[in-house]
Amino acid sequence: MLIWENILLALSGLRANKMRAFLTMLGIIIGIGSVITIMTLGESVTDSFTSSMQSLGANNVTVAIQPKQDEEEMDGGMAFMAINSSAMPQDKDYITDEMISALRESYGEEMLGISISESAGDGRAENGKLYANVSVTGVNADYFLAGEPEILAGRMLTESELAGDKRLAVVSDKLVNNMFAGDMERAVGSTLEVTTGDSFYSYTVVGVYKYEMNLYNMYFGAEKDIRTTMYIPIGAARAATHSTAGYSSITAITAPGVDSTRFASRVERFLNAYYRNNRDYEVSAFSMESMVSEFTSVLGTIETAISVIAGISLLVGGIGVMNIMLVSITERTREIGTCKALGATNGSIRLQFIIEAVIICLIGGALGVALGVTAGSLASKALGFPASASIKSIVIALLFSMSIGVFFGYYPANKAANMDPINALRYE
């Protein structure tokens, strides 16, 4: 009952001195608001990245060739990594179809498939003054095991088409908006003239997919200039680039339940057996899951560091609360003396002023949370990320603001509790 009466008394005091109370809370509001804004933005970026990686296949293992690095010793015993070759890869350096077949045979039960893609270059599809920027990418049938785009019109390339070299294409709805005024039915079956570098090719559109913006393809320019992927059979891409060698990278799509990080190490060892006599290049394998974990960890560290810096304003706010409580105690010295003369204990006096400090910080914290969630959501949307406010961070912020009230309110409250009632009654 005493606690509830003290809460009502604190609220009554705040209403009597609204401007002073608001200025006291301002440091708390700014501090909590800053921290929540940063945490909301961080959560939004992390969620967007995770969802983008999930759409690409978070458990996938990417295998790529890279120059060999040897550890060489310098004078004084120090070691450094030396790259054996800076030359472009030769035909013998690429991952071959034979290696891929051996990988399927050895690890077939742990993989759903092996995704292969090859870029045929960035270019532009044109029709008079109408144009659309495209990234022409050849893919195999397994490429879409990690996630097939949503087809809005027409169809996806069939397995037999993807295994061949016909110049067929699946394009984005953004391209259709630019070149066919959004008429998808007219786009399907039409022929696109695409220029990439010095090359010029014609592709027949068989389908239109829905373009999804994510962390990897963010674009801040005019919408009509967005570069979208145009999917073609990998054979057509290799013909366009006159490629006769193997592949610089492939992606193993792991089966459910397979530890992709351990699987990546095994695949790396398996394929590097083929590169034992290659002096210049080797294979490196890494899982998307490890990338997600590493990125989330780094982002969390940065978010925490920035939050700590922003939280310094909470210290300033807490000092402001202590200052105003000392002023309040001075103003109410006779009141404190009267209460003690009537039998109020030191504990009840101390509790009264601690509760008042907690109420000030709690209201300031609530206003700071509202400000932070609003600012964080607006910033996330401005950057193109879905707003994501963490309930956990909000609860922690409110508990922290209450802790500030107890910490910075204790000294003034203790000072009031230890007043001599006779001297307090004589105070003018």
Question: What dihedral angle (degrees, nearest 10) is formed by the CA atoms of 417, 423, 424, 428?
Answer: -150
Assess whether pLDDT exceeds 90 at residue 153.
yes
Considering only 47-51, 157-161, 168-172, 183-187, which range has the smallest mean pLDDT?
47-51
pLDDT value of residue 168: 94
Closest CA to 131 of 73, 175, 166: 175
CB count within 10 Å of CB 90 equals 12
Half-sphere exposure at residue 123, Cβ-oriented, CA atoms within 13 angstroms: 20
* pLDDT tens-digit map of 277-289: 888 899 998 887 6
Q: Where are the domains of the chain?
A: 2-52+295-426, 66-73+80-286
pLDDT value of residue 396: 79
CA separation for the pair 203, 124 (Å, rounded): 12
Assess whether pLDDT exceeds 60 at residue 1.
no
Q: Provide the 8-state DSSP code for 275.
A: G
More confident residue, 170 or 299: 170
pLDDT value of residue 319: 82
CB count within 10 Å of CB 330 equals 13
* pLDDT tens-digit map of 314-342: 777 788 888 888 887 777 777 777 887 77
Q: Are the beta carbons of 61 and 286 closer than 8 angstroms?
A: yes
Confidence of residue 74 (pLDDT cuts 50, 70, 90): very low
CA distances from 123 to 134, 222, 268, 312, 349 (A): 5, 17, 34, 50, 76
Assess whether pLDDT exceeds 60 at residue 312.
yes
Considering only 53-57, 134-138, 139-143, 232-236, which range has the smallest mean pLDDT?
53-57
Confidence of residue 268 (pLDDT cuts 50, 70, 90): very high
Q: Are the beta carbons of 357 and 321 closer than 8 angstroms?
A: yes
Say whether pTM exceeds 0.75: no
Sort 221 into a burial class: Cβ within 10 Å, 0-12 / 13-18 / 19+.
Answer: exposed
Half-sphere exposure at residue 155, Cβ-oriented, CA atoms within 13 angstroms: 6
CA separation for the pair 237, 341 (Å, rounded): 93
CA distances from 189 to 156, 161, 171, 230 (A): 13, 15, 12, 15
Alpha helices in 139-259 (DSSP H): 159-163, 173-179, 184-187, 234-241
Assess whether pLDDT exceeds 80 at residue 93.
yes
CA separation for the pair 60, 117 (Å, rounded): 14
pLDDT value of residue 214: 58
Q: Are the beta carbons of 208 and 160 closer than 8 angstroms?
A: no
Q: Are the beta carbons of 388 and 36 closer than 8 angstroms?
A: no
Sort 184 into a burial class: Cβ within 10 Å, 0-12 / 13-18 / 19+.
Answer: middle
* Token pair for 274: 């083929």
CA separation for the pair 28, 308 (Å, rounded): 14
The whole-angstrom distance between residue 6's C-alpha and the CA centroid of its chain comes to 44
Assess whether pLDDT exceeds 80 at residue 62.
yes
Residues 6+ apart with CB under 8 A from 344: none
More confident residue, 393 or 67: 67
